Structure 1
Amino acid sequence: MRKIIVTLLIVLTGFSIPLAIPGIAMAQSAASSSAPPDGNTSGVITVIQVDQNTKLVGFILSTKDGELVEVSVDDSTTFGLENASGDRLVSVLGEDPAESLLRITDQRERFAPVTVTVKDGITTAVVDREQGDLERNLGFLFAIYLVTWAGFFAYIFIVSRKQNDLSREINALKGQILGPEHEAGLAG
């Protein structure tokens, strides 16, 4: 019985060692993150960096390409983040650092994507992830608007044609039932 238990433990340990290797690789790659380019960068917050006074000094963002981007913040950084219940915080880090740290921690815990705007290597704004290209969305909405109106007018045209056809058929039936003198009254 002891041999079976020892063998089982050895086998389980042998299978669990390869599972631990990706965690080590991830920890090593987090140390080699790159600085963000100026402009917008979207991703999920993976690491939050604080100083000795637990004031937020930066965080590491994981982009959709798997790239880790190290972001620095200062007192002028603005935050526009929603929590899980939908309450939106719009604040500046210098005015309320504790609340900003709380919201950024909430974003990290929920794996909620954020968009970071960077200028001269410092983050100017952190907001919930922006949802795509506005011009493409407006073009799509305009196309749907045109197709909807074209469909509406085509429906009106078809219904009016059917109504005219039914009116002619009703008049023809009345003419058959009431006789030829009634057809002259229907025509005028």
Structure 2
Amino acid sequence: MPSHRRIRSRGAQARPLTLLALTCSLLATGALTGCSDDSGGSSASTATVAPSARVSASFSGELPSAIASSAASKIASARASASAAVSSVSARASEFEASVSAEFERRSTAAKKALQGVEGQGNAMSEVTMSGLARADTGGVLAVLVRITNGTDSKASYAVRIDFEDAQHKVVETRYTGAEDLAPGKREQPIVFSHEPAEPRLTPRLAQAQRY
């Protein structure tokens, strides 16, 4: 019986010694600021967490500020690049329009005016067709060739509206063209250009055609 009690006594002392070793080990790594004494007793100073210099630096506020500054700079740069791309496309489209027809702007203004007050698709949808032009031939600009044919037996003028839609069928841009005093059976083929960037890709749609 005495030997049995001695074994239990040793077991009871082993746990505080183990905790003491662990505490001192943490102190050596800088994780704790207190440790019990080395006399084998149960007294120990209070352990408190001491954050390392590396951890403290990460919460100084300097790193988030640097990230925010870098992000703002990148956003501004992206916006400037997008704006430059749009301006470049618009400039090329305008140059190509001018080279194809000096009457383009006048036709566009006249067609837009003629379509004011027209409800629905108009009375000349069957006399107008269109097809896309290769971007290689237009300097990368989205353009469509519009074919306007006078299918009546008298001279007539035509106003056409083209909508450029995105993948969700939302109208992103609207352009106008037309033909004036077109003789019976005659055809004109104006070109309509989008001034939007190449991406995202847009789809041209014949929205209105009015004979007047």
TM over 0.5: no
Return the structure number with greater helix share. 1
Task: State the TM-score, normalized to the length of structure 1.
Answer: 0.33
Task: State the TM-score, normalized to the length of structure 2.
Answer: 0.30
Larger Rg: 2
